Structure 1
Amino acid sequence: MEGEMKTLLWGASLGSLVIAGQVQAQDRANTTDHAALEQDRGQIDTIVVTANRRSESVQDSSLSIAVIGGDDLADAGVSEATDLGSVVPGLTVSLGGGVVQTYMRGVGDFATNANAESAIAYNIDGVYISRPNGIGPIFFDLERVEVLKGPQGTLYGRNATGGAINLITRKPEAGFSGEVSAEIGNYNARKISAAAGGGTETFAVRGAIQYNKHDGYLSDGYNDADSIAGRLIARVRPSETIDLTVMGEYLDMDSQGAATIKRSMFTPVPEDHWEGPSIGNIQQPPTAFIPGGTRIEDDGFNDTKVKAVSAELNVDLGGATVTFLPAYRDTDAAYLTYTPGFYYNTAETSKQTSIELRLANDGEALTWVVGGYFFDEDQTQNYELRAIPIQQSTVSTELGTRAYALFGEATYSISPEFRLIGGLRWSRDEKSQSGLSNAILPTPGQTDNFAERDFEDVSWRAGFEYDVGPENMLFGTAATGYKAGGFFPSVPYPDNSYEPEQLTAFTLGSRNQFLDRTLQLNLEGFYWKYDNKQERFLGATPGGTTGLLTTNAGKATLYGASMDMQFKPTRNDIFHFAVEYLHTKYDRFLYQVYNPSSTAPIINSYPENATSCSLGPVEPYTANDAIPPLQYDSTQSVDCSGKPLVRAPKWTGSMGYQHTFELGGGTVIIAGADGQFSSSQYLSPDFIESGRDNGYLSINADVTLELQSGLSIKIWGRNLTNEAIYTGGGRYAFSRPLAAGGDPTLFYANIRAPRTYGGTVKFRF
C-alpha cells in the first residue's frame, strides 16, 4: 500500500508540474511540413482509424481504442512489442524466453512455448500473427498502431479475448519520398532505419529496413538486441475501382535473449537491479549447488526468423466493396533460456496460412460488413528441459490448427444523431497434438502427448452511439470474446487438455471536443466478466514431471474507468494526461497440484509458502494407466479465489507536455517530456510477495532541432528515473530444495530497460 501511495503521489506531483509529453498524443508538431505549421490554428488533429474495417475518426468510434502514430512510436524508441507497454496505459508486454507475453487490463497469456496462444490478437495490415515469438522488432515505418481494449470477437475472432493490436504500415504513394535515420546511445546502441518509395497513381512501391543492436541491459549480456527487418510493399491501382497491395516481410533476430533476475523477501538480492543472473552465486537457484545441478549460464540465445507475404485486393462494386486478404507466414525460432531452476533449449516452426473475404458498404443510414475467414497452421516443437538432478526430459510435438469463421456487423442510423450497432461471429477451431515426452530423470520413461479436439463459439457485439452535440458523442456497447481451448505436453487427452475461455464486456463512454477543438476529453467506464479464464502456471504435470500447465481458473470480474485528455491552448503547445483505474478479482480460481511420492527426489508435499492461496487437504491419488507408477501418491487443491488478476495494476497512466519554438526560416525546436506510472501488481498466479512489482514512475524527455530542409537532430533520454520496472516472471519451482538454506519463495522476474540516452539524426525527403 505504501508503494502504491508513493507512486500515486509522484504521479500527482508530476501532473501538477506538467512535465510530460505522452507519446500517445495524437497530434505532434515535429513534422517537416512547415507550411502546414504556419496554417495551424491550434486545433487537435483528426485521427482516422480502420479498426472497425472501415475508415472513421477516433472521435466517431465506439471502440475502446488508443492510437499511436508512427512518428510517436519512433520518438519513444518503440522497435518491438516489449517496448509498446511503456506507451499504452493498461498494457503490459514481457518476454518468456523468446515468446512475447501480452496482457491488457490483466487479460493475457503466460506464453512460453508453441502450445501458447496470446489472448491479445496482433495484426499487421489485417493479417493475424499467430505466434507470440514471431512478432519481434516489426514496429518500424508504420503509419500508426491501434490498440483495442476489450474483447474483439466479432471482427477479430478467436484469441482476441482481451483486445487487439493493429499495426498499419505506411503505403506507397505517387511521387517520391522517404527518410533515413541513425541513432546511437548508451549500452553501445545503434539503430539505422531507412524507407523510400514512390511511383505513379497506377503503380507505386515502398521499401523499408531497420537494423537494431544494443548490448545487454543485464550485466552478463542478457536483454540485448540484434535484429534486422525489412518490408517491401507494392500498390497497383489499374482503375478507380481496383486497388491491390502486396507486401513481403523478412525478420532476423540473433540475440542472447531475455533473462529473469532474482527477487526475494528473505535472501539478499544484488544492489544493481540489472546484475545478470549468471554472475556469481547470489542470483543462482538453490539447485545450482547440488552436485551436477543446473546453473544459470550466459550462453542463452534467441535466433528467430520470419518470412511473410500477404496481399489485399479491394474491388469497388458500386453498392459495396469486396476485400480479399490472403496471407502466409513462416516462423522458425530457436532459443535457449533459463527460468527459475530450469534450462530450456527450444526449437519451433510454424507455417501459417490465412484467407479473409469481406463485403462491406458504407451507406448514409446503414453501414455493414460481412465476411468469412479461414486459418491453417502447422507447428513443430522440440525442446529439452533440465533441472538436474531433479528432472530432465525432452519433448517432441506436432500441432495443427484449422479455424473457420463467418461474421457480420452493422451500424444503423435511426436518426442523424442516434445509431444502433449489432454483430455476430461464428467460430470453429479444430486442434490436434501428437508427439512424445521422454523422461530421463527422475524415472526414465516415454509418454504419448496425443490429443484432438474441436471447439465452437458464437461471439456478439451490440450497442448504441448518440451524438449529444457536434463534437460530443455518448456510446454504450456490450461484446463477447472467445479463446479456443488447447493442450499442453503431458499424458494423453483428456488429462492434457483445457477448455475455451469467454469474456463479456460492457462499456459506457463519452468522446468530446471543446473550445473550438483545442480540448479533447474522452471518458470510459467498463465492466468485464470472465468465464473459464485460461491460466498457465509452473507445477507438477500428470505425467510425472514439473512443467508449465494450463488450467481454467473459473470466473473473474474486472471493472474500472479511464480518462484521456488532450489540451492544445496554442499551436505550439500540447498537454496530455491519461489515467486508468482497474479493479480485478478471481471469483473462482481452484486447481489441483500433484504431490510426488516418497520415492521421488523432490518435496513430498506442496509447500504452503509457495503461494499465498488457500491449500486444501492432501488426498490419496490413484494413478491411471497413462501415468507412470510411483510418481505421485496424493493431490492437493489450491484455491486462489478472491485474489486479483495477475499483471493488472489498479492505477496506470501517462502525462506529457510538448512545446514548439519557431526560430524563423522554417527552423523549429521541439522540447517535450513525458511520464508513465503504475501502481503495484502481481506478476504471476503464485501470489507471493517477492512476485509483486511495487509500481513505478518513469520519466522521458527529448529535444529536437528541425530544419526546413528535412534534417532533424534529436537528443533523448528514457526512464531517466532509472526505475526497476518488472513486467512478468515466475516462482522457483522447487520451493523446498534438497540443499540446505534457500528461499522458499524465490522469484525470478523480467525487467524493463534501465536509464538510456542518446541521439538521433534523421533526414526526410
Structure 2
Amino acid sequence: MRSSIRLWLAFGLALWWCVGPVQAQSQSTVLSGRITRASNGDPLVGASVFVKGTKRGTITNRLGRYRLAFTEPVTVVVRFVGFRDIEIPLEPTGKSIEQNFELVSNETQLADVLVAANRQDEYLQQVPVAASVVGRRDLERRSIYNTMEALNNTPNLMTDSWLNSQVSFSIRGLSTVFDNVGFESTVALYIDDVYFSRSFAYNQTLMDIDRVEVLRGPQGTLFGKNTIGGVIHVISEKPDMNNSGQIELNYGNYNFRQIRAKLNRQLIKNKLAVRLTGALSLRDGYVTDRVAANEALNKTDFFGFRGSLLYTPSNRLTLTLRGNYGRDGKAENTFVYLSKPDYNPVGVRADEGLTTNQNVPVEFNRDQYGGMGKLEVKLGRNTLTAISALNSSTDSYFSDNDISAADASRWGRAQGLRTFSQELRINSPRDQKFAYVAGLYYLNERISVTDTFTLNKDFVPVAARLLGAPIANASKFISEGYTTNAVIRSQSAAGFISGALELTPKLRLSGGLRLTAETRELAYYQKIRNQVVNGKSFNIINLYAANIGSKTNPETRQTSNVALSYDMGLDYRFTSNLMGYAKFVRGFKGAGFNTAPIKDSESGGLVFRPEYVNNYEIGLKAKPTERIQVNGAVFYTDYKDKQELLDQGTRVRVANAPLTRGYGAEVEFLAMLKRFRIDVSAGYLNLRFVDFPFGTDDNGNPVNYAGNRLLKAPDWTFSVAPEYNIQLNDKLRMYMGLNINHTGKAYNDISNSEILARVPASIVNGRVAIVPANGKWSVAFWGKNLTNKLYIQHGWEYEFGDQIAWSRPRYYGVEVYLNFR
C-alpha cells in the first residue's frame, strides 16, 4: 500500500513538473506600462510595442501608455522612430506585469513629425499641405528664444520687428500689417488652437513649447477667414502624468539675462497633472542713445508665466485648461535718423551706425493675459472638441517721432484688444475611407487705439516749405498736435466642413467649405490742437489732420460680409514614401477700417473692401529612407482687392489693389548620417501689383503702383543648418551646429522706396553644446549674426526726414539646462 502511495506521489510530482508550466503558459499575461523620453520623461505618443517575429502589437496613447497580452515566452520590442529600440524577453506568469520603458534618442534617423493642419495631429509626410514644423529639438539646438527666431529656416517666410509689440510675419509675400489696428493679420496667428487677429497681441517669448507649425498658403476652410498668407501655430507642451522639471539659464552680451523654468506634477495617477512655466528676460538696447537719460530706459524687460491642467477621468474624456500672463516693462530702441545726402529738412546730420541722439526716450509697456479650456470627448471612433478662450492685450508707446536731435515731432499710441472665441468641432480618425472634420466657430472682439502726435518748434522750416510761404511769428511757435481715437467692435460666425475620400488605396479626393458671416462697427474721432498767437492759429498741424467727429458724437461706419471659402484637391501615394498633391484654395479676408490719423473722413478712406484670393498649388513629399526627407511645392496666386496701406510723408491712406498676381516655389531637404544632420530650405517669390491706382501725389498727379513688388516679399530665401555630434566618451558628447539664413531683397513699403529697402543679407548663427548621455543637463555657447551683418528691418519716409530700424547686430552668450525628475 505504501509502495502504491509513493508511486502515485511520484507520478503526480512528475505530472505537475511537466504540466504545471504548460498550464501557466496557457494563462494570459497582461503587460502594460508607460513609454517616455529618457532625457526629460515626456510621454512618447504612437510608440510601437510588439512581439518580435509576429504582427501582434499595439501603440501608446496620448499619455504614453500601452497594453499587450501574451500566453507564451516572447521577446517584446519597443520602437519609436528617432529612438533606439529596446528588446526584453518575458515569460508568462498569469498575472499582470507593469513595465515602463525610457527610450534614448537615435541620432541616425529622422523622427516622424506631427502637424495639426487638419485640426488634429497627423504625420507631416501624409498631409497634402505645404507645412514646416519647428520642434522642441530645433528650439533647443538652435538657441531659439522667440517666435521670430523660430521661423528663420522656413522657406518663403520673413520676419522683422521694430518694437516688442510691432512684429511682422510675411508668408509667400503676404504680410501682417502692424501699424494700423484696423487691419487684421493676413497671416493667421494661433496659440494652442486659439486665434489672435492682431500681431501686437501675439506674445513672442517662447516658453514650454512643443512645436511651431507654419502652414503656407490660404488655410481658410479650417482656420478661418484671415489666413490668406498662411498660419503660424504655436503649440505648447501639455501636462503629462509624471514628475519632472527644467531650468534654463542664459547670459550674453548687451547684458542679456534670461531665466526660463517649468515644473510638471502628477496630482492623481494617470488622471490629473499640472504644468507651470515662467520666464524672465532682460537685455540692454543695441542702438545707443547719446543722451544718458534716454539710454537708461533703452532695455528689454519681460516677465511671464503660464499654467496648464490636464484631467483625464477616462480614456474617452480629456479636459485641458490653460492660463497665461505676460508683461513688458521697457522697450529697446531700434531706430536711427536717416537724412538723405541732398535733403536735410531739419538741419541735423544722419545718425552714424547704431547710435542716435533723441529728445525723449522710447517708453513702452504691455500687459497680456488670457485663458482657454479645451474639452475632447470620444464618441465611438470620432472626437468631439470644444474650445473656449478669452484673451486681452493692452500696450502703450511713446517716442521722439523724428528720431533725431531736432525737436520736430513726438508720437504716442495706446492700443488694446479683447477677444472671446468659441469653437465646436467633430472629427473622424484620418485613417478611415472617408475622413472628415466639421464645426462651428464664433469670435467677438473689441479693438481700441488712441494716437497722440505733436509738431514742435524744429518743424517750422519744414512747414514753411510745405506751405510755400514763411510762417508768421515762427519764433513763437511751440507745438500743435492731434489726438485720434478709434474703437472697433467685431463679431464673426462661421460653419465649416472638410473631408478626404479614399477613391483607391493610393488616390484621395479632398475638399472643404467654410461660410463666414461678420459685422463690424467703427467709432472714430480726431481732435486737433492749434496754437494761437495774437488771435491767429498757426494751423501747421492741419497738414496732417482735421477735426473729425467728437468723443460724444464720433464718426461711425459699419460693414457686413458673408463669404464662402473653399478648397479642393487630389493627392496620390506613388509609394509608401512618396506622395504628390494638387489643390485649389479660395481665400477671403473681411473688410476693415483705417484707424490712422487722416485729413478728412472720406478721402482718407475710413473703410476698405474685403479681399479675395485664388491659390493654385502642386506639391511633392518624399521620405525614401529613414535618413532622407524632401518636400517641395510650386504655386500661383491671384488676388482681388488686396488691402494695402501707405504711410508716407503727410499721407496716411488705405486702398484696395484691384489686381495682384504672382508665383513661387519652395523646397525643404533633411538628411541624417550617423553623427551628421543637415537641414536645407529654399524659396522663390515673384508677386507684383498688376493694377493699383492709388489716388494722386502731392502735386495732383495720378499714382498707380502697377508693376511694384509687394512689401515684405523677398525674391529669395535660403537656409542651411548643418549639425555634427562627437562622442567624447561613454558619458559625454559634443554637439556643434550652424544655422545660416539668407533673405533676398525686400521692400518695406508699397511704393518700393529704395532708400528704405531691405538689402539681401545672410545671417550666420552657431551653437556648441556639451550634453551627457542621460540628458540631465547641458552647457552651450551660442552666437547669432556672427558676421555682424546689418540691414534695414523697416523704415518710413517723412517730411522731417527718413527713419530706419536696424536689425540686431552680433550677440552671443552661454546657456545652461538642468533637468529634474
TM-score interval, smaller chain? 0.7 to 0.9
1:680: which partner in 2? 745
1:505 paired residue among 608, 615, 620:
615
The answer as to 2:305 corresponding to 1:230 is yes
1:211: which partner in 2? 280
Q: Which has the larger radius of gyration?
A: 2
Whole-angstrom distance in 2 between the partners of 1:375 and 1:563 = 35
2:667: which partner in 1? 563
Whole-angstrom distance in 1 between the partners of 2:83 and 2:412 = 47
Q: Do the aligned partners of residues 29 and 261 (structure 1) sit closer, same or farther apart at CA in structure 2, a change above 3 Å counting?
A: farther
The answer as to 2:117 corresponding to 1:51 is yes
Q: CA deviation at 1:555?
A: 1.4
Whole-angstrom distance in 1 between the partners of 2:365 and 2:622 = 47
Q: How does 1:15-54 map to 2 (within 5 A)?
A: 36-37=103-104, 40=106, 42-54=108-120
Q: Do the aligned partners of residues 297 and 161 (structure 1) sit closer, same or farther apart at CA in structure 2, a change above 3 Å counting?
A: farther
Q: CA deviation at 1:442?
A: 3.0
- Structure 2 unmatched runs, 5+: 1-80, 85-99, 290-294, 403-407, 464-479, 530-539, 550-554
Q: How does 1:292-331 map to 2 (within 5 A)?
A: 296-331=358-393
Q: Do the aligned partners of residues 171 and 455 (structure 1) sit closer, same or farther apart at CA in structure 2, a change above 3 Å counting?
A: same
State whether residues 328 and 366 of structure 2, in contact with CA within 8 Å, keep that contact through their aligned partners in structure 1. yes
What SS is found at the alignment partner of 2:428? strand
Q: CA deviation at 1:243?
A: 0.4
Whole-angstrom distance in 2 between the partners of 1:96 and 1:424 = 38
Q: CA deviation at 1:82?
A: 3.7
What SS is found at the alignment partner of 1:553? strand
State whether residues 84 and 93 of structure 1, in contact with CA within 8 Å, keep that contact through their aligned partners in structure 2. no
What SS is found at the alignment partner of 1:83? helix
Q: CA deviation at 1:72?
A: 2.1
Whole-angstrom distance in 2 between the partners of 1:372 and 1:478 = 23
2:208 paired residue among 141, 146, 168:
141
User: Which amino acid in structure 2 is aligned with residue 333 of structure 1?
Assistant: D
2:443: which partner in 1? 375
Q: How does 1:521-540 map to 2 (within 5 A)?
A: 521-539=630-648
Post-superposition CA distance 1:546-584 (Å, at most 9, x none): 4532211221112111111111122x2101211111112
State whether residues 44 and 519 of structure 1, in contact with CA within 8 Å, keep that contact through their aligned partners in structure 2. yes
State whether residues 282 and 302 of structure 2, in contact with CA within 8 Å, keep that contact through their aligned partners in structure 1. yes
Q: Do the aligned partners of residues 264 and 655 (structure 1) sit closer, same or farther apart at CA in structure 2, a change above 3 Å counting?
A: farther
1:475 paired residue among 565, 572, 581:
581
2:794: which partner in 1? 728
State whether residues 142 and 739 of structure 2, in contact with CA within 8 Å, keep that contact through their aligned partners in structure 1. no
Post-superposition CA distance 1:517-561 (Å, at most 9, x none): 211111211111111111111158xxxxx4532211221112111
1:648: which partner in 2? 713
User: Which amino acid in structure 2 is aligned with residue 752 of structure 1?
Assistant: S
The answer as to 2:412 corresponding to 1:345 is yes
Whole-angstrom distance in 2 between the partners of 1:547 and 1:230 = 41
Q: Answer with 59-68 or 551-560: which moved more.
A: 551-560
Whole-angstrom distance in 2 between the partners of 1:228 and 1:72 = 24
Whole-angstrom distance in 2 between the partners of 1:527 and 1:693 = 24
What SS is found at the alignment partner of 1:133? helix
State whether residues 286 and 334 of structure 2, in contact with CA within 8 Å, keep that contact through their aligned partners in structure 1. no
Whole-angstrom distance in 2 between the partners of 1:451 and 1:80 = 37
State whether residues 257 and 337 of structure 1, in contact with CA within 8 Å, keep that contact through their aligned partners in structure 2. no
Whole-angstrom distance in 2 between the partners of 1:338 and 1:645 = 29
Q: Do the aligned partners of residues 763 and 432 (structure 1) sit closer, same or farther apart at CA in structure 2, a change above 3 Å counting?
A: same
Q: How does 1:590-605 map to 2 (within 5 A)?
A: 590-593=693-696, 595=698, 605=699
Post-superposition CA distance 1:373-409 (Å, at most 9, x none): 1100112222202234556210122210111111110
Whole-angstrom distance in 2 between the partners of 1:525 and 1:480 = 17
Q: CA deviation at 1:153?
A: 0.8
State whether residues 678 and 696 of structure 1, in contact with CA within 8 Å, keep that contact through their aligned partners in structure 2. yes
2:322: which partner in 1? 247
State the Cα RMSD in Å: 2.5
TM-score of the superposed pair, with normalisation by structure 1: 0.82
Whole-angstrom distance in 1 between the partners of 2:486 and 2:125 = 47
User: Which amino acid in structure 1 is aligned with residue 506 of structure 2?
Assistant: E
2:49: which partner in 1? none
Whole-angstrom distance in 2 between the partners of 1:56 and 1:342 = 53
1:365: which partner in 2? 433
Give the percent of matched residue pairs that are identical in Structure 1 and Structure 2: 24
1:273: which partner in 2? 353
1:752: which partner in 2? 807
The answer as to 2:335 corresponding to 1:260 is yes
2:564: which partner in 1? 458
User: Which amino acid in structure 2 is aligned with residue 567 of structure 1?
Assistant: A
Post-superposition CA distance 1:20-56 (Å, at most 9, x none): xxxxxxx9999xx997457x37221100111211221
State whether residues 263 and 690 of structure 1, in contact with CA within 8 Å, keep that contact through their aligned partners in structure 2. no
Post-superposition CA distance 1:700-747 (Å, at most 9, x none): 111100123611000011100111132222222x2xx6xxxxxxxx54
Whole-angstrom distance in 2 between the partners of 1:356 and 1:379 = 21
Post-superposition CA distance 1:587-611 (Å, at most 9, x none): 112111474xxxxxxxxx3xxxxxx
1:446: which partner in 2? 547
2:486: which partner in 1? 397
Whole-angstrom distance in 1 between the partners of 2:560 and 2:312 = 41
Post-superposition CA distance 1:251-310 (Å, at most 9, x none): 10111244433456636986853223xx2xxxxxxxxxxxxxxxx434112211011010
1:197 paired residue among 248, 264, 274:
264
State whether residues 700 and 717 of structure 1, in contact with CA within 8 Å, keep that contact through their aligned partners in structure 2. yes
1:24: which partner in 2? none
State whether residues 109 and 535 of structure 1, in contact with CA within 8 Å, keep that contact through their aligned partners in structure 2. no
Whole-angstrom distance in 2 between the partners of 1:330 and 1:298 = 29
TM-score of the superposed pair, with normalisation by structure 2: 0.77
State whether residues 29 and 660 of structure 1, in contact with CA within 8 Å, keep that contact through their aligned partners in structure 2. no
What SS is found at the alignment partner of 1:753? coil
State whether residues 253 and 305 of structure 1, in contact with CA within 8 Å, keep that contact through their aligned partners in structure 2. yes
The answer as to 2:584 corresponding to 1:517 is no
Q: Do the aligned partners of residues 338 and 145 (structure 1) sit closer, same or farther apart at CA in structure 2, a change above 3 Å counting?
A: farther
Whole-angstrom distance in 2 between the partners of 1:328 and 1:343 = 34
Whole-angstrom distance in 2 between the partners of 1:535 and 1:639 = 13
Q: CA deviation at 1:686?
A: 2.5
- Structure 1 unmatched runs, 5+: 1-26, 280-295, 541-545, 596-604, 606-617, 619-635, 738-745
Structure with higher RCO (Cα < 8 A, 6+ apart) = 1
Whole-angstrom distance in 2 between the partners of 1:709 and 1:561 = 39
Q: Do the aligned partners of residues 676 and 594 (structure 1) sit closer, same or farther apart at CA in structure 2, a change above 3 Å counting?
A: closer
State whether residues 455 and 541 of structure 2, in contact with CA within 8 Å, keep that contact through their aligned partners in structure 1. no
The answer as to 2:679 corresponding to 1:576 is yes
Q: CA deviation at 1:223?
A: 7.3
What SS is found at the alignment partner of 1:324? strand
Q: CA deviation at 1:217?
A: 1.4
State whether residues 263 and 691 of structure 1, in contact with CA within 8 Å, keep that contact through their aligned partners in structure 2. no
2:453: which partner in 1? 385
User: Which amino acid in structure 2 is aligned with residue 587 of structure 1?
Assistant: V
User: Which amino acid in structure 2 is aligned with residue 526 of structure 1?
Assistant: F
What SS is found at the alignment partner of 2:199? coil
User: Which amino acid in structure 1 is aligned with residue 694 of structure 2?
Assistant: Y
The answer as to 2:101 corresponding to 1:101 is no
Whole-angstrom distance in 1 between the partners of 2:556 and 2:409 = 25
State whether residues 519 and 559 of structure 2, in contact with CA within 8 Å, keep that contact through their aligned partners in structure 1. yes
Whole-angstrom distance in 2 between the partners of 1:264 and 1:525 = 41
Whole-angstrom distance in 2 between the partners of 1:223 and 1:28 = 44
State whether residues 162 and 793 of structure 2, in contact with CA within 8 Å, keep that contact through their aligned partners in structure 1. no
Whole-angstrom distance in 2 between the partners of 1:392 and 1:270 = 25
User: Which amino acid in structure 1 is aligned with residue 686 of structure 2?
Assistant: H
1:691: which partner in 2? 756
What SS is found at the alignment partner of 1:527? strand
The answer as to 2:819 corresponding to 1:713 is no
Whole-angstrom distance in 1 between the partners of 2:578 and 2:764 = 32
2:655: which partner in 1? 551
